[in-house]
Amino acid sequence: MQTHSLIAHPGFAPAAVKKVTARVTPDGEWLRLRWRIEGAQKLIVPPFAGKGRADGLWQATCFEIFIQPPGEAGYVELNLSPSERWNAYDFVAYRQGMSERSFPREPSCAMRKGEALAIFDAAVPASALPSAPWRYGMAAVIEEEGGTKSFWALAHNADKPDFHDPACFAAELAAPDRA
């Protein structure tokens, strides 16, 4: 299990959110992901829409992971919404050659929100992702009341938020121990 503190992009300050952490837990046939939002009193959660693929999820509260095998220019982008909508894309290089990634079954998503804390959990079929080891970046778009959007990632490297930037792929997942 690896837990990371995400950083809000300095050009897009949150209204009430104080901290966002993200966690990756490989679990056999599943990759379990968790984002924890502290200061969630103004958080806007997209309404339930049921499972299914959708584009443009990043335009509202959304959670993302980017996965890149070592030595490759290509990477996978996975978008997960509290609405239960999701999508996955393959890129052949930085923002190039985008195509929808095949998935053997849909990810499972759940959001729990209290006054001060929200937790978003997802379980993603491991068979749908590249085999570890890989570099990855976890990110979140957080929408709050009053039209405030903040963009959280492991790192930022530009004037505008860009989760596709290789600088954001700041964590590594080792290959599973087969012993």
pLDDT > 90: what percent of the chain? 88
The pLDDT, as a whole number, for residue 179 is 40
Q: 3-state SS of the chain: helix, strand, coil percent to 5?
A: 5, 50, 45
pLDDT tens, position by position, 131-178 = 889 999 999 999 999 999 999 999 998 889 999 999 999 999 887 654
Residue 64 lies inside a defined structural domain of this protein: no
Say which CATH number the domain at 9 has.
Answer: 2.60.40
* Domain count for the chain: 1
The pLDDT, as a whole number, for residue 65 is 97
Note whether 134 and 78 are within 8 A (CB).
no
Whole-prediction pTM: 0.94
Residue 138 lies inside a defined structural domain of this protein: yes
Residue 15 lies inside a defined structural domain of this protein: yes
Residue 145: domain span: 2-59+77-173
The pLDDT, as a whole number, for residue 115 is 86
Residue 7 lies inside a defined structural domain of this protein: yes
The dihedral built from the CA positions of residue 11, 119, 165 and 49, taken in this order, carries a sign that is: negative
| Mean pLDDT of the chain, nearest integer | 94
Residue 69 lies inside a defined structural domain of this protein: no
The dihedral built from the CA positions of residue 166, 141, 102 and 1, taken in this order, carries a sign that is: positive
